[in-house]
Amino acid sequence: MRRSGGRKRRLHFSKIYSFSCGRASLKEEHSQIGGPGFSRVVFCNEPDSFEAGIRNYADNYVSTTKYTVATFLPKSLFEQFRRVANFYFLVTGILAFTPLAPYSAVSAIIPLIIVIGATMTKEGIEDWRRKQQDIEVNNRKVKVHKGSGEFDYTEWKNLRVGDIVRVEKDEFFPTDLLLLSSSYEDAICYVETMNLDGETNLKLKQALDVTSSLQEDTSISDFHAMVKCEDPNANLYSFVGTMDFEEQQYPLSPQQLLLRDSKLRNTDYIYGVVIFTGVDTKVIQNSTPPPSKRSRVEKKMDKIIYLLFGVLFTLSSVGSIFFGIKTKDDLNNGIMKRWYLKPDDSTVFYDPKKAPIAALYHFLTALMLYSYLIPISLYVSIEIVKVLQSVFINQDIHMYYEETDKPAHARTSNLNEELGQVDTILSDKTGTLTCNSMEFIKCSVAGTAYGRGFTEVERSMGRRNGSPVHEALIGKDDTAPIKGFNFKDERIMFGNWVNEPHGDLIQKFFRLLAVCHTAIPEVDEVTGKVMYEAESPDEAAFVIAAREVGFEFYKRTQTSISVRELDRASGQQVDRLYTLLNVLEFNSTRKRMSVIVRNEEGKVLLLCKGADNVMFERLAKNGREFEEETKEHLNGYADAGLRTLILAYRELQEDEYTEFNAKLIKAKNSISADREALIDEVTDNVEKDLILLGATAVEDKLQNGVPDCIDKLAQAGIKIWVLTGDKMETAINIGFACSLLRQGMTQIMINLESPEIKVLEKEGDKDAITKASRARVLHHIDKGKAQLTASSGGSEAFALIIDGKSLAYALEDDIKSLFLELAMGCASVICCRSSPKQKALVTRLVKSGTGKTTLAIGDGANDVGMLQEADIGIGISGVEGMQAVMSSDIAIAQFRYLERLLLVHGHWCYRRISSMICYFFYKNITFGLAVFLYEASTTFSGQPVYNDWFLSLYNVFFSSLPVVAMGVFDQDVSAGFCLKFPLLYQEGVQNVLFSWRRIIGWMLNGLISAVIIFFFCMKALQPCAFNPDGKTAGKDILGAIMYTCTVWVVNLQMALAISYFTLIQHLFIWGSITLWYLFMLAYGAMSPTLSTNAYKVFVETLAPTPSFWLITLLVPISALLPYFTYSSLRMRFFPLYHKMIQWIRYEGQSNDPEFCDMVRQRSLRPTTVGFTARLAARTTNKLRR
């Protein structure tokens, strides 16, 4: 089978790019092949061979689920019974089948089965959804060699080590592949690695020369080779191996490795051999198994359960000791003190002769009887509430992204309340904060600023200032948007630049943008429109800008660049050819890029663009005419969050160029260790005496609303870290763009860019490099801490910026605590060039080191480890890939939705769950202690005051539905006020609503209510006859009245605690009370064998008696009075922040700007970030001046 279509662009890119720099050689690191850690052997095109079979490599199936069919039942049961309350009810359920039980076994075991079954069902459904996503990925198709040059589609999961696959343009790589050849003659291909490192710029890979001829399907049939390489590991940026082919050995490097989940771009097809599969691939090696996450509230709830267990065991022990003593004295000289227990006829339970054993049996009975102190329905009620809360999150129209038709999606409901307690956000950059696109928006040419567009930062600051001018200007533009171009200025556009005073320099400026790059043009055969594939998005933005202004780059050959530009003299479009002599590439050390071209007049021109800190020092004395104006414009661009580059040029004399080219060729052909240094030295000597043209300003296009969102989160007291795989300059620029950094903020930079370390790297002494690097990182950390200490108490803000190499040392065991201490003292933290593993380790350090809730947010496979390590993982369902979403707890479409997710839903969920749990303990203590007080009054005889089904149905029908409604619907303040007063979020971060003080307070409230209910009812029924017939109240009447009062008290307490009533809450509260009366009627009408002592107790005894109705009126009022008094005094003298907001809303002051600002300013801190802090800092600086 022959491939279809002709070969794509016969360009030898190795002549344009310095590929020889990246090619491997058989050097020291390859001598490790075959040793420990380098033992993998791959038989190319022979996956079925005996040698391949005995190695038993992993298959290519990848799973992100928590359970399998075999492990679901045992693992899920373990998840349920590790909750101590569930385990306790399992034990009491078993004991209920013995004669010790004070109630029937059925009433004890059925609630437990319902609770466990409901929770396991929810877990199973959530994991099944993950399974469906895994199936979709594993069943993707790719062409694989079946033999004799025939390729056929197969699922990813079926691939084996040694298979040869053909990947087409825009397809993802199914495994880690060794590149054999491509549609290009010199076997290069473009790869997009956004899912791995978050970068959208295309990477260039190149196969070995010896395999580059494998251009046809038929040529694969006879290809056989053996690859020996490193074992599976998590390092994305290294690969060491050799290929034995045709009795020759060739070295392999990362240049030939194509990683799973990266995408083939701008290349028709490639052939590759499968090296690592499934769990052995580098992207999966960088991930961790999906953890079983539990919220802090839930963990604390377990501690409360332990406390209640302590109370339960104490009460049971005290009661049993007292019971044993009383039982021993029951028979005294033949006189029975407790004759109703028939101690003379008892075998064990009440036998005075066996008092110690009777006390032990009573202890077991008491454990079951007082079990109502522990709320069995708490867990299942919380599960129900969390699922319903997740439904509201999923259906929130304010978090729906219409452009991609993606709503928010809570993939697990276990962590809803954690959303209201986030202390630190760790965010990816590309695709998370940004849209993966750059826009040319402003420029400075010959000392004049051009461009009337506004950045997201400027728009946000304008709105904050109340200035409508920015939005008004933008609203007048009706032109269709152009990707990568947001430049608006009538002085430049439509050829008007020719009328400008420095038109010649403007021409040179945009001509430089059209020529100085490594982009590849693609002409649409239908429309004729030129599109560009570039190594970086900002480079694409430059050539697009040049095209829109009138300098259209439309063709590239191996030795020339063709540009269609506007001729100043004639005013016509003319085609100009620039002979490409050299490309001096950009790197992080040089911070500049140059091309040397010969124009049609025969002049040799050096065109250069680079960072301002390296370009200004390279200007000639006569080339600095506009330096001051340009610097002033640069400062303004930086303040607007724009990425800037300086453009300059010079003309080279022919002999000067000839000498330079000879030196460059000599340096490139050098095989010494300092080859790169020699090249840099040669290029450094020619890139000087430049003439300044101006500066570009490109917006690394933020997602809509990112600065606003970050500002709100910062006002809420949330710390924000950015962990990115991008280089330091890019990360710093985006930090300014989204207001994490600002002018005047002290930057603490930690990197290993020092002359001493560079010398050691040339010498190759790894131990010396490690020692020096470690010492440098420690020095930076100590220096940074000293700066923090010196400014303590002041208003100075600090930002910590660290690169990946330094981070590796900062995360070592003996340094990481110092690093964390420094980082927590800074307003912003940006980690650059971070690997996925480092992102996860930083997240773990923050989570364990601070003990606070961490949230990680990202969009690519490189963020999976970070998302799983954090307390909460948020996946951005962006344009590319679903790896982050599949491993996340909650998925959203845009970063800006994080504001509403945390400040609104997070606050509500935290408050609802906290209040719900406190109320649960309150109502169960009220109920359980009343049972204990009755038993104490009957000398701990082991008899419950309530009927069996009264006991069982209390938590199911008569008190649980109102609390579920509160957990789903209650709001202390509206969504608008949550966003208007971000400091309200700190109630969750500081755990104000679920502190031990608040929990114990609710428990004391329950104790007070139980005491009032029991003693008031007892005293009210003791003095006289209960009804007109002269009968006194028995246990059945006392129990029914106490139960009625309890139902009224706990439901009215709920009504007092609720801040936001809905129809459903009214229905549940008053419905629960009504249901109790209906139940008494229905249950009492049953035969005495079923209703026992509740037979017609309401109809014949309670309803006709006025004292019953009087007691049920006065007792609830008395029981609720202490809570009402405390709440009123607290509201008057010590209000919580949400109570203050409720009060200003009630007083009608919510729209008073002055009053709202006075309340809101409590949320501002000297070290906060965001444009609010930027404005505050600017105002402070003006006042100081």
DSSP per-residue codes, 919-986? HHHHHHHHHHHHHHHHHHHTTS-S--SS-HHHHHHIIIIISHHHHHHHHHH--SS-HHHHHH-GGGGH
Name the helix (H) or strand (E) containing 189.
strand 188-192
Enumerate the H helices of 975-1105 as residue ranges: 975-980, 986-989, 996-1021, 1035-1057, 1063-1084, 1088-1091
Structure tokens at 618: 């390279």
Report the residue count for the chain: 1185
Q: How far apart are CA 1170 and CA 740, in angstroms?
A: 6
Q: How far apart are CA 782 and CA 785, in angstroms?
A: 5
Q: How far apart are CA 631 and CA 614, in angstroms?
A: 13
DSSP per-residue codes, 1087-1152? -HHHHGGGTTIIIIIITT-HHHHHHHHHHHHHHHHHHHHHHHHHHHHS--HHHHHHHHHHTT-TT-
Q: How far apart are CA 256 and CA 189, in angstroms?
A: 10
Query: Alpha carbon of 638 to those of 643, 742, 802: distances in Å?
Result: 7, 9, 20
Beta-carbon contacts of residue 1061 (< 8 Å; ≥ 6 apart)? none
Contacts 24+ apart (CB under 8 A), 22-29: 22/206, 22/253, 22/255, 23/206, 23/253, 23/255, 24/251, 24/252, 24/253, 24/255, 25/251, 26/242, 26/249, 26/251, 27/251, 29/240
**Angle, helices 907-937/296-328, rounded to nearest 10 degrees:** 0
Are 738 and 706 contacting, i.e. CB atoms less than 8 angstroms apart? yes
Query: Alpha carbon of 572 to those of 144, 435, 550, 566, 567: distances in Å?
Result: 53, 37, 10, 6, 6
**Angle, helices 766-790/755-763, rounded to nearest 10 degrees:** 160
Q: Is there a catalytic annotation at residue 59?
A: no
Which of 907, 825, 866 shows the shortest CA–CA distance to 1137?
907
Are 259 and 176 contacting, i.e. CB atoms less than 8 angstroms apart? yes
| Rounded (10°) CA dihedral 1119, 1123, 1129, 1130 | 170
Query: Alpha carbon of 1165 to those of 566, 649, 717, 1176: distances in Å?
Result: 54, 46, 8, 10
3-state secondary structure of 426: strand
Structure tokens at 835: 């690997």
Query: What is the DSSP pairing of strand 225-229 with strand 40-44?
Result: antiparallel
Structure tokens at 28: 């020291």
> Of residues 428, 803, 889, 970, which has the active-site annotation?
428
Q: How far apart are CA 442 and CA 457, in angstroms?
A: 14
Q: How far apart are CA 391 and CA 406, in angstroms?
A: 15
Q: What is the largest CA-CA distance in the chain?
A: 133
Q: How far apart are CA 311 and CA 928, in angstroms?
A: 11
Q: How far apart are CA 1094 and CA 1101, in angstroms?
A: 10
Q: How far apart are CA 565 and CA 571, in angstroms?
A: 10
Structure tokens at 864: 């999976």
By annotation, the residues acting in catalysis are 428
